[in-house]
Amino acid sequence: MTQFTHDTAPTRFVDGGGIRFAYRRFGRPEHPPLVFFQHFMGTLDDHDPALSDAFAVDREVVLFDNAGVGSSSGTVPDTIEAMARDAIGFIDALGLTTIDIVAHSMGGLVAQEVALARPDLVRRLVLAGTGPILRRNIRVDTRLCGHSCPACLPRHRLTRLRLPGQLRRSNRTTR
């Protein structure tokens, strides 16, 4: 696989859980592969080739389109948890038993769910430009359309919900 780069690796397909996933695999396969998780509305073509090619010098890199995105079949799930289940289906379809993950933005949320659901699968997790999964602390303000589908998400506002202890601290005045 070392003869390929981000731009020259062929797009391949694998079936997992009734979904046909598009992916590219390149680099040196001696270590657990580094699987990239993309940002909201991103495809495997949106990763930075300078970054993925640099990692591919001494590791195998896997780029993929999750369900309903880019060249993959299926429907885009409406929850992070469902996106993680699809990603696990893809990883299992490739027969990978240990992976490292690099994730950006919303991909970081999905990657965290994968690590929580399958700690035996994820060896290392690198999160960039993302936040922690705070299911009870963050909600989507759905007043615009009444639901939180991925197509509408950019129009929604993320709202921090404060826990009782946080309310007391935030009401204090500092001088």
Tokens standing for residue 35: 């699987």
The total number of structural domains that make up the chain: 2
Q: Give the type of residue at 171.
A: N
Under 8 Å between Cβ of 19 and 89: yes
**pLDDT by residue (tens digit) across 98-111?**
999 999 999 999 99
Residue 114 shares a structural domain with residue 142 = no
Supply angle C-alpha 134, 138, 144, rounded to 5.
150
For residues 24 and 74, state if they share a domain.
yes
Domain coverage including residue 49: 12-133
Residues 25 and 109 in one domain: yes
Residue 175 in this model has a pLDDT that exceeds 90: no
pLDDT score, position 19: 97
| Span 107-130, average pLDDT | 93
Residue keyed to tokens 């993309």: 38
Across residues 137-163, what is the average pLDDT? Answer: 44
pTM reported for the whole predicted model = 0.75
Give yes or no: residues 139 and 154 share one domain. yes
Same domain, 80 and 140: no
Within-domain flag for 1: no
pLDDT in tens, 77-99: 989 999 999 999 999 999 999 99
Strand partners, 63: 24, 36
Residues 159 and 88 in one domain: no
